[in-house]
Amino acid sequence: MDLSFSPELEAFRQTIRGFLATALGDDLRRGAAYNGGMFQDYETNIRWHRILAAQGWAAPAWPARFGGPGWSVEQRYLFASECAAAGAPALAPMGLGMCGPVLMGHGTEAQQAHFLPRILSGEDYWCQGYSEPGSGSDLAALNLDAKREGDVYRLNGSKIWTTHAHHANWMFALVRTDRSGKPQTGITFLLIPMDTPGLRVDPILFVSGEHEVNAVFFDDVCVPVANRVGAENDGWTVAKYLLEFERGGGNAGPGLEAAAQRLHRLAADHGVRLPEGKLTSLEVTVEAVKTLEFRLLSALGQGQNPGPESSMLKTLAGHARQLLSELTVELLGPTALGGAAGPRPPGATDEVAAATATAAARYFNMRALSIAGGTDEVQRDIIAKRVLGL
Ligand SMILES: Cc1cc2nc3c(=O)[nH]c(=O)nc-3n(C[C@H](O)[C@H](O)[C@H](O)COP(=O)(O)OP(=O)(O)OC[C@H]3O[C@@H](n4cnc5c(N)ncnc54)[C@H](O)[C@@H]3O)c2cc1C
φ/ψ of residue 222, rounded to 5: -100, 125
Question: What percentage of the chain has pLDDT greater than the value 90?
Answer: 82
Active site residue 246: yes
Pocket probe mutation, ligand 1, options 99, 161, 246, max atoms within 8 Å of Cβ: 161
φ/ψ of residue 6, rounded to 5: -65, 165
pLDDT at 273 over 50: yes
**C-alpha atoms less than 13 angstroms from C-alpha of 30 in its C-beta half-sphere:** 7
Marked catalytic residue, from 82, 244, 246, 326: 246
Q: Which of 339, 376, 348, 297 has its CA nearest to residue 34?
A: 339
**Each residue of 25-73: pLDDT tens digit?**
999 999 999 999 989 999 999 999 999 999 999 999 899 999 999 998 8
| Ligand 1 proximity of 37 Cβ (cutoff 6 Å) | no
CATH top-level class of 126-238: mainly beta
270-to-37, 223, 264, 327 alpha-carbon distances in Å: 24, 56, 10, 13
Put residue 124 in one of left, alpha, beta given phi > 0 → left and psi -120 to 50 → alpha. beta
**Each residue of 279-304: pLDDT tens digit?**
999 999 999 999 998 888 778 777 77
| Ligand 1 proximity of 40 Cβ (cutoff 6 Å) | no
b/e per residue 271-297 (b: at least 16 CB within 10 A): eeebeeeebeebeebbbbbbebbbbbb
State the pLDDT at residue 261.
Answer: 95
pLDDT at 1 over 50: no
Number of the ligand 1 atom closest to the C-alpha atom of 129: 11
Say how many Å lie between the CA of residue 118 and the centre of ligand 1. 30
> What is the DSSP code string of 334-371?
GGGGGGGGSPPPTT--HHHHHHHHHHHHHHHHHGGGGT
| Ligand 1 proximity of 130 Cβ (cutoff 6 Å) | yes
> 249 falls in which pLDDT band (50, 70, 90)?
low
Q: How are beta strands 211-224 and 170-176 bridged, if at all?
A: unpaired
| Ligand 1 proximity of 60 Cβ (cutoff 6 Å) | no
Q: Specify the DSSP class assigned to residue 231.
A: S
Say how many Å lie between the CA of residue 387 and the centre of ligand 1. 21
CB 103 within 8 A of CB 66: no
CATH fold of the domain at 248-387:
Butyryl-CoA Dehydrogenase, subunit A; domain 3 (1.20.140)
Mean pLDDT of 130-149: 97
Cα–Cα distance for residue pair 156/221, rounded to 1 Å: 7
State the pLDDT at residue 248.
Answer: 67
pLDDT at 233 over 60: yes
| Ligand 1 proximity of 372 Cβ (cutoff 6 Å) | yes
**Each residue of 156-207: pLDDT tens digit?**
999 999 999 999 999 999 999 999 999 999 999 999 999 999 999 999 998 8
Say how many Å lie between the CA of residue 372 and the centre of ligand 1. 6
> What is the DSSP code string of 159-177?
EES-TTTTT-SEEEEEEE-
Cα–Cα distance for residue pair 153/198, rounded to 1 Å: 13
Beta-bridge partner residues of 224: 152
| Ligand 1 proximity of 315 Cβ (cutoff 6 Å) | no
**Each residue of 306-333: pLDDT tens digit?**
888 889 999 999 999 999 999 999 999 9
Cα–Cα distance for residue pair 53/377, rounded to 1 Å: 37
Mean pLDDT of 203-222: 94
> 74 falls in which pLDDT band (50, 70, 90)?
confident
- Residue bearing the CA closest to ligand 1, atom 7: 162
297-304 long-range contacts (CB < 8 A, ≥24 apart) are 297/73, 297/76, 297/77, 297/250, 298/73, 300/61, 300/73, 300/250, 301/72, 301/73
State the pLDDT at residue 250.
Answer: 62
> 244 falls in which pLDDT band (50, 70, 90)?
confident
> 91 falls in which pLDDT band (50, 70, 90)?
very high
Number of the ligand 1 atom closest to the C-alpha atom of 164: 8
Cα–Cα distance for residue pair 328/324, rounded to 1 Å: 6
Pocket probe mutation, ligand 1, options 378, 379, 382, 385, max atoms within 8 Å of Cβ: 378
Cα–Cα distance for residue pair 103/302, rounded to 1 Å: 18
Q: Which of 175, 234, 167, 227 has its CA nearest to residue 203?
A: 167
pTM: 0.94
Say how many Å lie between the CA of residue 373 and the centre of ligand 1. 7
| Ligand 1 proximity of 213 Cβ (cutoff 6 Å) | yes
- Residue bearing the CA closest to ligand 1, atom 32: 137
State the pLDDT at residue 299.
Answer: 80
Q: Which of 218, 97, 213, 105 has its CA nearest to residue 165?
A: 213
Which range is least confidently modeled, 69-73, 81-85, 184-188, 249-253?
249-253
Parse the chain into domains and list their residue ranges: 7-91, 126-238, 248-387
CATH topology match: 126-238 vs 248-387? no
